[in-house]
Chains A and B, each alone.
Chain A
Amino acid sequence: MIQYTIKRIFQTIPVLLGVIVITFILMYMIPGDPVVSMVGERYDEQTIKKLRKELKLDDPLPVQFIDYVSNVFQGNFGKSFITGEPVMQALLVKLPNTIILAVTAMVIAIISGLAMGLFASVNQGSFLDKVTMFFALAGISTPVFWMGILFILVFGVHLKWLPPTGFGGVEYIILPAITLGIRSAAYIARLSRAAMIEILEQDYIRTARMKRLPEWKVLFKHGFPNILIPVITLIGTDFGSYLSGAVLTESIFGWPGIGRLALEAILKRDFPVIQGTVLFMAIVFIFVNLFVDICYGFIDPRIRMENKND
């Protein structure tokens, strides 16, 4: 187990470095002189020279790269062109809001997704199954941002059940969390249905039914635990869609998280903030995947063994 964990951690290092290299290249390709975008149109030669020196922009590329990497490892993601605030500081201030939103969305997605999937698998082939699966397909195929707008329109503007946008009490989180969770719920529904159908055909389920166990016991005691591994895998790999979705959802609902920070930076063309946010989210994503992978090692001994034989 320890061997597997260590191996998995070592596999992450090149990915992490690669992600930093790509972000560095993207920063480097940004059109125009970063110093000019910092000081604006009214500048004099002296300030430019001073700033270039301060930002070490005249250093050779490899030196700049090494500086960048060491800065990233020290948690220094650069400074905003506009406010001059360190990007990391801005990210840490907004991070808790995004985590609250993402976790709420995830809970909603897991509960509703599993419920839909199990419901459909029990009624396999029936009209209800088809309707449920069509909803799941629609959930995957509908743009998150549009869904959010519809929710605002229906529940916020017309029915006035919930505040359309803003930040504050519990009532503010409901619409954005549902919006953010829908896509994932639909994926979980499709996957759990397929997995459950496969498991219900297994011999041990037939045995359980022959023993005249009540059907709910067959489903929840013998069937359900077996679909958890694929579902957990999906939730782990789908974590990226929560991060991506956060940009869209937060921008619509005015939720003050990392996504909104990125959107405001896009609108103002504040490149260090954009790239810093992208890098930050990529790093979070990589660590979540690492964590999920190590978790399966604990849950499923087969995964540990497979990796051993590599």
Chain B
Amino acid sequence: MIKPGRIWNYFFKDKISGFGFLVVLFILLFGIFAPIISPHDPYTQILDFRNKPPGFTGEVISYRLEPDLPVYTTAVKSVTVHKNTVKYLDTIDRTFEIEKKMLNGKDRTEWNKKIRFYLGSDNFGRDILSRLLYGIRISLLVGFCASTISLIVGVFLGALAGYYGGLIETCIMRVTDIMFGFPLLLFLIGITAAFEPSLTVVFFAIGFVSWPGMARITRGQVKQTQENEFVKVTEVLGFGKSRMLWKHIVPNSLTPIVVMYTLSISSAIMAEASLSFLGLGAQPPIPSLGAMINSGIDFIKISPWISIAPGFVIASIVIGFNMLGDDLKSTADPLMKK
């Protein structure tokens, strides 16, 4: 069993090992607080500011043409306020006049903003930084949900197979053999292609293809734990089989399962990015990191930042979880630390 105190000691004794933990912590914070820290709305399109480089600043006003229409944000060069109307000069020096009641908000700071694209803007004039922060949320959501599905299914079936053996074990293990017969991403492509593409399909597809690994590890672990003295004691005490399995054997087999769970989060995030890149994951305009990379390909010569930034973010998330998993592995098994 991993003891929290031991992990703490381990991380803070060895600076390099703590790095993965810190990266994951930061990414979690970025994901959780995305709505607060992101400078702009990730969906707002400013068509005059398409493919702008990092650091670009500009002025915009936002208004509604009709009360029930969505807010329209447009780039301006200058704005003059009159009694009932507002006049603005657009980026190619055309003058427009709009009524004050159409403006989005009462205060001028609400409808007339200076905006800065810290990491540039994409091919629809959306702020890349804000989309990245929201993209982290989606990656984490898929990572956690898909891995949790695979954890629940894998541990349940693996424990049954390891504990009861016999026909149950043979059946479950044959199914895992079959699932391992598919190359992972291709299996995912096959599944997601059979449905209307959406994030929900991605959750379940990734969870569905990744439980066999978890089941194999749990089975091996349960078999090993079963050999322990304390299990034999509980057997002598006459505990029920299912109580023994779920209350005594499984909790004592958790260490490699926790490691596997951490590593499976990173592979789920990578899988989601790949599927979204191929157009089989989250659909536009959802800011998924993989889809963002794909949308930048056509503009790679004029605005490479559209594709570059999301790749860095995916790589950092995955590096973080992989390092954390490696650290947990060596904490759990100090002999492996070299």
> Taking the nearest CB of chain A, how far is it from the CB of B188, in angstroms?
9
**How far is it, in angstroms, between the C-alpha of A252 and the C-alpha of B293 when the chains are bound?**
11
Does B319 reach chain A (CB closer than 8 Å)?
A: yes
Does A35 reach chain B (CB closer than 8 Å)?
A: no
Query: Are B189 and A278 touching (Cβ within 8 A)?
Result: yes
Does B196 reach chain A (CB closer than 8 Å)?
A: yes
Query: Are B195 and A244 touching (Cβ within 8 A)?
Result: no
Does B282 reach chain A (CB closer than 8 Å)?
A: no
**How far is it, in angstroms, between the C-alpha of A239 and the C-alpha of B180 when the chains are bound?**
12
Within 8 A of A (CB), among B268-327: 270, 273-274, 277-280, 290, 293-294, 296-297, 300-301, 304, 307-308, 310-311, 314-315, 318-319, 322-323, 326
Q: A153-B304, A278-B189 are in contact. Are A138 and B278 (CB under 8 A)?
A: no
A residues near B180, Cβ cutoff 8 Å:
15
Q: A31-B196, A266-B193 are in contact. Are A278 and B186 (CB under 8 A)?
A: yes
- Out of B277, B279, B315, which one reaches A248, CB within 8 Å? B277
Main secondary structure of the interface of A (DSSP, over half): helix
> Taking the nearest CB of chain A, how far is it from the CB of B109, in angstroms?
38
Does B185 reach chain A (CB closer than 8 Å)?
A: yes
**How far is it, in angstroms, between the C-alpha of A277 and the C-alpha of B315 when the chains are bound?**
29
Does A206 reach chain B (CB closer than 8 Å)?
A: no
Does A16 reach chain B (CB closer than 8 Å)?
A: yes
- Out of A251, A262, A282, which one reaches B182, CB within 8 Å? A282
**How far is it, in angstroms, between the C-alpha of A157 and the C-alpha of B16 when the chains are bound?**
36
CB 8 Å contact bits of A132-163 with B (1 = contact, 0 = none): 00000110111111110110110001000000
Query: Are B293 and A149 touching (Cβ within 8 A)?
Result: yes
B residues near A194, Cβ cutoff 8 Å:
338
- Out of A143, A197, A278, A282, which one reaches B315, CB within 8 Å? A143
Does A63 reach chain B (CB closer than 8 Å)?
A: no
Main secondary structure of the interface of B (DSSP, over half): helix
Residue of chain B at shortest CB distance from A263: B278
- Out of A15, A26, A244, A275, which one reaches B181, CB within 8 Å? A15
Does B225 reach chain A (CB closer than 8 Å)?
A: no
B residues near A269, Cβ cutoff 8 Å:
193
Query: Are B174 and A14 touching (Cβ within 8 A)?
Result: yes
User: How many residues of A are counted as interface, with CB atoms below 8 angstroms from the partner's CB atoms?
Assistant: 56
Query: Are B274 and A149 touching (Cβ within 8 A)?
Result: no
Query: Are A138 and B315 touching (Cβ within 8 A)?
Result: yes
- Out of A150, A241, A271, which one reaches B308, CB within 8 Å? A150
Does B266 reach chain A (CB closer than 8 Å)?
A: yes
> Taking the nearest CB of chain B, how far is it from the CB of A46, in angstroms?
29
CB 8 Å contact bits of B163-185 with A (1 = contact, 0 = none): 00000000000110110111111
What are 25 A-to-B residue pairs whose CB atoms are below 8 Å?
A18-B181, A22-B178, A22-B182, A29-B195, A30-B194, A31-B196, A138-B319, A141-B266, A141-B270, A142-B314, A143-B270, A143-B277, A143-B293, A145-B274, A145-B294, A241-B184, A244-B184, A244-B185, A244-B186, A251-B278, A252-B297, A263-B278, A269-B193, A274-B189, A278-B182
| B interface with A by C-beta (< 8 Å) | 16, 174-175, 177-178, 180-187, 189-191, 193-196, 266, 270, 273-274, 277-280, 290, 293-294, 296-297, 300-301, 304, 307-308, 310-311, 314-315, 318-319, 322-323, 326, 338
| A interface with B by C-beta (< 8 Å) | 11, 14-16, 18-19, 22-23, 26-27, 29-31, 124, 130, 137-138, 140-147, 149-150, 152-153, 157, 194, 197, 239-241, 243-245, 247-248, 251-252, 262-263, 266-267, 269, 271, 274-275, 277-278, 281-282, 285-286
